[in-house]
């Protein structure tokens, strides 16, 4: 797991004190965070470390110096430093950078940067204009220019939306207690006496939604092998909200009900031609991440060998076909938040990691992303699942506590004879072979993946005999597990099972782990604010903190 990402970076205290001060580098990172979604700089923690050096103390005047220098070296950046005491008693500075709402942030020298993954990347040429247009001080979602009264809503849509929010475990109890009108304000569906554009889109009347001009229209077109059109379906009458469109498309397209018959011993099993989770994820992403300031229909083009999702507009600035598996940029922040709370999507991600997981675990190819001048296309191959790979991944997941990254890497290797480190890094959109360690280390340790060679020429593979026999090596004993591996087990367990007791965590990750080791690790993670606990004594429950969840998704 990377300790840095879209919302977090670490810097040594030497970067802002002594002779090695690099203020332009600090200004660059602050501008990059402000132009993205904001973030935090932990100053006083070395790269790759989780805690500051023991005994470290922050000079009393340093927070004021940081605030002043960032203000002098940047434009449209709001940075707030505070001194924090870590779990080991040492101090560091948490510099919180807010998302810029007054315009595009830049350095005082006129340079622009954007946070993409764990890198502060320069924005050059025409992309500066794109950044300016996408960072409007008045987002499309919150405009009320249509002057539609907040009372002019579709009662059925509002009731369904409110019921979904109050039933969701992602919504805080204090929010669920709000009245219907207060929920409209809370989710930016209304402002004052008017519905916002987002409100018209989600709970407005059909006529008002049509007047928006950019409400989504979806067309499904099926073609035969000669590219002749054989079927067409359209959802173009503006009667449905984006959330309702997802269900309508899935239910109305008859081809999504097709299946393959896969031999399994003496029997044949029916397997869907298209996995529902993947189709729904692509639909919600197309609806949530499209630019609503640009007209254009969403096309689902079904060919005998593939299904294409074509969305108007380009990818959000900072996201490319090469980094789509890792980058996370919200174009329509409030719509994304609403769909997240309704459990239709993961707010911080495009869902591509989940789609990779599902498809590769079934022995199917990963989705292919292409970007044109004013469109984005995602292509799914129309192939039957590989029964051998599907069974292998399923059995491996039951035997070992695989993370999502590990399932993706294992699925890729199970479909290929062997891959070099360079090839595998390319398939996973990683910068270099060294970044493969979180994906492969445990798979190699457990004997699920073999390797030969060294450095970039290392070849990784799943042994054919293992793929056929499913006779996995015995699980390595956890009695002497290293701290970083124990930490990863706890993180993955709480990601899957939030609100767990100590006993439940211990039972799932390995009863052979000494109880004192696990309690010590939980205490350290609480001190680092990676996890949080509620209740006391036997009622104590542990979960990941919200900050850690956001950082991990990046």
Q: What's the pLDDT band for 548 if we cut at 50, 70, 90?
A: low
69, 112: one domain: yes
- Whether the pLDDT of residue 303 is over 50: the answer is yes
- Whether the pLDDT of residue 420 is over 80: the answer is yes
- Whether the pLDDT of residue 52 is over 70: the answer is yes
Q: What's the pLDDT band for 1 if we cut at 50, 70, 90?
A: very low
The count of structural domains within the chain is 5
CA-closest candidate to residue 223, choices 74, 361, 382: 382
445, 506: one domain: no
Please write the tens of the pLDDT for every residue from 97-129: 998 877 789 999 999 998 877 788 898 887 888
188, 255: one domain: no
369, 292: one domain: yes
Q: What is the pLDDT of residue 553?
A: 52
**Arithmetic mean of pLDDT, 243-269:** 84
**Arithmetic mean of pLDDT, 417-446:** 84
Q: What is the pLDDT of residue 119?
A: 81
Q: Which two tokens stand for residue 400?
A: 């070992």
- Whether the pLDDT of residue 469 is over 90: the answer is no
Contact of 310 with 377, CB cutoff 8 Å: yes
CA-closest candidate to residue 331, choices 376, 371, 296, 289: 289
Asked whether residue 317 is assigned to any structural domain, the reply reads: yes
| List of residues 6+ apart from 491 with CB closer than 8 A | 1, 530, 544, 548, 552
d(CA 362, CA 383): 10
- Whether the pLDDT of residue 154 is over 50: the answer is yes
CA-closest candidate to residue 407, choices 482, 348, 486, 492: 492
d(CA 107, CA 7): 19
200, 344: one domain: no
Asked whether residue 112 is assigned to any structural domain, the reply reads: yes
Asked whether residue 361 is assigned to any structural domain, the reply reads: yes
227, 355: one domain: yes
Q: Which residues sit opposite 531 in a β-bridge?
A: 544
**Domain span holding position 183:** 140-211
Q: Which of 211, 240, 269 is the last residue of a domain?
A: 211
Average pLDDT value for the chain = 86
Please write the tens of the pLDDT for every residue from 165-186: 999 999 999 999 999 999 999 9
206, 233: one domain: no
Assign residue 349 the CATH number of its domain: 3.30.565.60
- Whether the pLDDT of residue 479 is over 70: the answer is no
Contact of 423 with 449, CB cutoff 8 Å: no
270, 192: one domain: no
Q: What is the pLDDT of residue 74?
A: 94
Asked whether residue 499 is assigned to any structural domain, the reply reads: yes
Q: What's the pLDDT band for 333 if we cut at 50, 70, 90?
A: confident
Asked whether residue 475 is assigned to any structural domain, the reply reads: no
237, 377: one domain: yes
405, 332: one domain: no
- Whether the pLDDT of residue 263 is over 70: the answer is no
Highest averaged pLDDT of the listed ranges 153-162, 398-407, 448-457: 153-162
Asked whether residue 477 is assigned to any structural domain, the reply reads: no
Q: What is the pLDDT of residue 136?
A: 59
- Whether the pLDDT of residue 335 is over 90: the answer is yes
d(CA 457, CA 530): 36
162, 266: one domain: no
Q: Which residues sit opposite 452 in a β-bridge?
A: 459
pLDDT above 90: percentage of residues in the chain: 42
Q: Which of 112, 134, 156 is the last residue of a domain?
A: 134
Highest averaged pLDDT of the listed ranges 222-236, 393-407, 465-479: 222-236
431, 498: one domain: no
Q: Which of 405, 440, 469 is the last residue of a domain?
A: 469
Q: What is the pLDDT of residue 2?
A: 41
HEC readout, 234-261: EECCCCCCHHHHHHHHHHHCHHHHCEEE
Q: What is the pLDDT of residue 465?
A: 80
Q: What's the pLDDT band for 164 if we cut at 50, 70, 90?
A: very high
Q: What is the pLDDT of residue 70?
A: 93
Q: Which two tokens stand for residue 407?
A: 């399932």
d(CA 174, CA 171): 8
- Whether the pLDDT of residue 277 is over 70: the answer is yes
Q: What's the pLDDT band for 476 if we cut at 50, 70, 90?
A: low
**Arithmetic mean of pLDDT, 11-24:** 84
Assign residue 116 the CATH number of its domain: 3.30.950.30
| List of residues 6+ apart from 504 with CB closer than 8 A | 497
Q: What's the pLDDT band for 429 if we cut at 50, 70, 90?
A: confident
Q: What is the pLDDT of residue 81?
A: 93
**Arithmetic mean of pLDDT, 147-174:** 94
Asked whether residue 3 is assigned to any structural domain, the reply reads: no
- Whether the pLDDT of residue 252 is over 70: the answer is yes
Asked whether residue 1 is assigned to any structural domain, the reply reads: no
**Arithmetic mean of pLDDT, 517-544:** 88
Assign residue 546 the CATH number of its domain: 1.10.10.10
pLDDT above 70: percentage of residues in the chain: 92
Q: What is the pLDDT of residue 475?
A: 54
d(CA 313, CA 290): 7
């Amino acid at each position: 797991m990377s300790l840095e990402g879209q919302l977090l970076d670490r810097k040594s205290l030497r970067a802002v004190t002594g002779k090695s001060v690099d203020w332009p580098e600090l200004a660059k990172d602050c501008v990059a965070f402000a132009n993205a979604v904001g973030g935090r700089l932990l100053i006083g923690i070395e790269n790759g470390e989780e805690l500051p050096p023991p005994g470290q103390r922050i000079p009393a005047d340093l927070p004021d110096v940081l605030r002043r220098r960032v203000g002098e070296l940047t434009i449209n950046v709001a940075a707030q430093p505070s001194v924090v005491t870590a779990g080991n008693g040492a101090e560091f500075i948490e510099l919180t950078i807010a998302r810029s709402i007054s315009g595009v942030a830049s350095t005082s020298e006129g340079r622009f940067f954007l946070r993409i993954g764990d890198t502060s990347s320069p924005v050059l040429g025409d992309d500066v204009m794109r950044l300016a247009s996408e960072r409007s001080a008045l987002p499309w979602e919150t405009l009320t220019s249509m002057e539609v009264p907040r009372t002019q809503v579709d009662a059925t849509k509002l009731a369904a939306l409110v019921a979904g929010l109050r039933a969701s475990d992602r919504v805080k109890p204090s929010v669920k207690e709000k009245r219907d009108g207060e929920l409209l304000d809370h989710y930016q569906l209304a402002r004052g006496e008017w519905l916002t554009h987002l409100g018209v889109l989600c709970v407005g009347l059909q006529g008002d939604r049509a007047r928006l001009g950019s409400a989504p229209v979806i067309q499904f077109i099926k073609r035969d092998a000669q590219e002749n059109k054989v079927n067409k379906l359209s959802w173009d009458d503006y009667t449905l909200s984006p959330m309702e469109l997802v269900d309508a498309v899935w239910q109305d397209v008859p081809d999504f009900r097709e299946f393959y018959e896969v031999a399994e011993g003496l029997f044949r099993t029916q397997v869907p031609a298209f996995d529902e989770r993947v189709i729904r994820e692509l639909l919600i992403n197309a609806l949530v991440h499209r630019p609503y300031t640009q007209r254009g229909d969403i096309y689902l083009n079904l060919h005998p060998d593939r299904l294409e999702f074509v969305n108007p507009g380009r990818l959000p600035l900072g996201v490319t076909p090469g980094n789509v598996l890792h980058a996370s940029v919200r174009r329509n922040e409030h719509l994304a938040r609403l769909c997240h709370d309704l459990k239709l999507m993961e707010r911080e991600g495009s869902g591509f990691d989940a789609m990779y997981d599902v498809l590769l675990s079934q022995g199917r190819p990963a989705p292919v992303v292409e970007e044109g001048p004013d469109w984005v296309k995602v292509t799914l191959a129309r192939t039957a699942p590989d029964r051998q790979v599907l069974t292998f991944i399923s059995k491996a997941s039951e035997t070992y506590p695989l993370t999502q990254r590990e399932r993706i890497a294992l699925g890729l290797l199970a479909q290929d004879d062997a891959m070099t480190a360079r090839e595998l890094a390319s398939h996973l959109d990683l910068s270099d072979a060294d970044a493969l360690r979180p994906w492969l280390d445990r798979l190699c340790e457990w004997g699920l993946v073999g390797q030969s060679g060294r450095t970039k020429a290392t070849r990784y593979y799943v042994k054919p005999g293992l793929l056929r026999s499913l006779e996995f090596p015995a699980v390595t004993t956890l009695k002497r597990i290293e701290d970083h591996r124990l930490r990863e087990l706890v993180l993955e367990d709480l990601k899957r099972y939030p609100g767990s007791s100590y006993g439940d965590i211990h039972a799932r990750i390995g009863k052979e782990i000494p109880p004192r080791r696990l309690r010590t690790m939980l205490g350290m993670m609480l001190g680092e604010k990676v996890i949080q606990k509620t209740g006391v004594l036997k009622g104590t429950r542990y979960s990941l903190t919200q900050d850690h969840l956001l950082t991990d998704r990046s």
